[in-house]
Amino acid sequence: MTTEVDYYELLECERTADEATLKSAYRKLAMKYHPDKNGGCKDHEARFKAVSEAYECLKDPQKRAAYDRFGHAAFKNGMGGGGAGHGAQDFGAFSDIFESVFGEFMGGRGGGRPNLRGADLRYDMEISLEDAWHGKASEITVDVSGICDSCSGTGAKPGTQAHQCKQCNGHGKVRAQQGFFMVERTCPVCHGAGQVIADPCRDCRGEGRTDKTKTLKINVPPGVDEGTRIRLSGEGEAGARGAPSGDLYIFLHVAKHSLFERQGTTLFANAPISFTTAALGGEIELPGLDGEMINVKIAPGTQPGREVRHRGAGMPVLQGRGRGDLVIRLDVEMPSKLTAKQRELLEAFRATETGDECPQSSGFFAKIKSALG
């Protein structure tokens, strides 16, 4: 009776090990027990087959889930995942490790044609704070590689078509065995496309795309902020030889406003008021971004730097409901010029001061007197 060793024990890993941990463990054990490095030792060959079988199972999420639930019984009675004989099958698992290690050096890890999808493009667009408040419909013009009109993106001369590459059978990559490594490279004939064009299109020279100028409509929603990104699917660079186009990303930049400063959905504004308004109270008006005047009430005895919050007068919530607040910072402005009458009135006021009118200043000077004894 054959003893079935737990796959996780064979790989010397916990059952909670992630994919990277399993791969690292297998790489270490495979290099240790590979027959080519151990003079054909039967024990090492058997151990190599066992760890290869374990990794082949556990690297596949579906097989791993079945194994975690049913153990070795999940792969009996023709359900797959049996022992990997020394040769192509177990060698494929071993090469999977080295494809990830040397893939970039060898032209990328394979299994299919390279990604010929067009590149994503970026467009920077400046808008005003009013545009960010209301939203805006606009048009932009971009220079981009578009699908060739002559060949409809195939890259082949009209009336002809591309043929499957015989060197790689349409995969775009070829494999070669070097020792116990399986090296995969981009096909030197089709350069990874998987197809060969015998008679290329004259307008695009076989690329399937030409330089074009596009005019696109942009809808800027209310509430956008600095750095908000709008994605236009398929409006980027056209893919080579009919591959999908990339996307165009619009990055919004909100211009500095002369009155308002923005933080999220909250607007801030500095409003200078006279010292008499600060002392006696009153009202001021500010123009809102919606064009309506905002009435701000000033309480008597307002101190410099006080903030007054006006609910619902800020920026709209992007893709939501409601608006933020408007915060007005009050700067008390002292008169730089006085008429004779104004000076006379202020002198009369000073003559009546008791110190209770400005408790902070009177308390400050009281502390100084106390400190000086």
Flag whether 358 is marked binding: no
Residue ranges of E strands in 9-158: 121-127, 136-147
**Rounded to an integer, what distance in angstroms lies between the CA atom of residue 257 and that of residue 267?**
11
What does the H/E/C string look like for 283-346? EEEEECCCCCEEEEEECCCCCCCCEEEECCCCCECCCCCCECCEEEEEEEECCCCCCHHHHHHH
Angle of helix 42-58 relative to helix 61-70, nearest 10 degrees?
Answer: 100
Q: Hunting for tokens 């009336």 — which residue is that?
A: 159
Contact, 56 vs 85, CB < 8 A?
no
**Rounded to an integer, what distance in angstroms lies between the CA atom of residue 29 and that of residue 19?**
16
The pair of structure tokens assigned to 114 is 């390279």
Flag whether 57 is marked binding: no
Q: Report the DSSP pairing between strands 195-196 and 163-164.
A: antiparallel
Closest CA to 119 of 249, 273, 217: 249
The pair of structure tokens assigned to 265 is 């959905």
Flag whether 41 is marked binding: no
Q: List the binding residues for Zn(2+).
A: 148, 151, 165, 168, 187, 190, 201, 204
Q: List the binding residues.
A: 148, 151, 165, 168, 187, 190, 201, 204
